[in-house]
Amino acid sequence: MLGDYRCEANPVQQFAEECLVGAASGGGMPAKDLFAVYSRWCAAHGHAHGTSIGFGRALSNLGFQSRKSSYTIWLVTLSSGAEAYQAS
């Protein structure tokens, strides 16, 4: 019951459970693109998306990893649950 509340109170966790899977070796998604999908997901679910920095911290707290090049790449890919939130 408490776990359900925590999930409901944490939109990043809800988004991750619905829309993210770990990336194959060498794969990943640029942080700005991932945040754009998350922002559309938030709009569809009635959540405020906050900042990209807060989003990144929340993903890290959930155990997701990133790597840096000239920009941040999250080591995730979008699941089929994210199709509705991708840019056309």
Band of residue 27 on the pLDDT scale cut at 50, 70, 90: confident
- Kindly report the average pLDDT of the chain as a whole number: 90
Q: What is the mean pLDDT of residues 4-25?
A: 82
- Pairing assessment for the beta strands 72-74 and 76-78 based on DSSP bridges: unpaired
Q: Which pLDDT value is given to residue 84?
A: 92
Residue 36 CA, chain-centre distance (Å), reads 9
Q: Which pLDDT value is given to residue 79?
A: 95
Q: Which pLDDT value is given to residue 8?
A: 61
Residues 77 and 30: beta-carbon distance below 8 Å: no
Q: Which pLDDT value is given to residue 78?
A: 95
Non-local CB neighbours of 47 within 8 Å, separated by 6+ positions: 11
Residues 51 and 43: beta-carbon distance below 8 Å: no
Q: Please provide residue 73's backbone torsions phi and psi, each rounded to the nearest 5 degrees.
A: -120, 120
Give the residue, 80 or 4, on which the prediction is more confident.
80
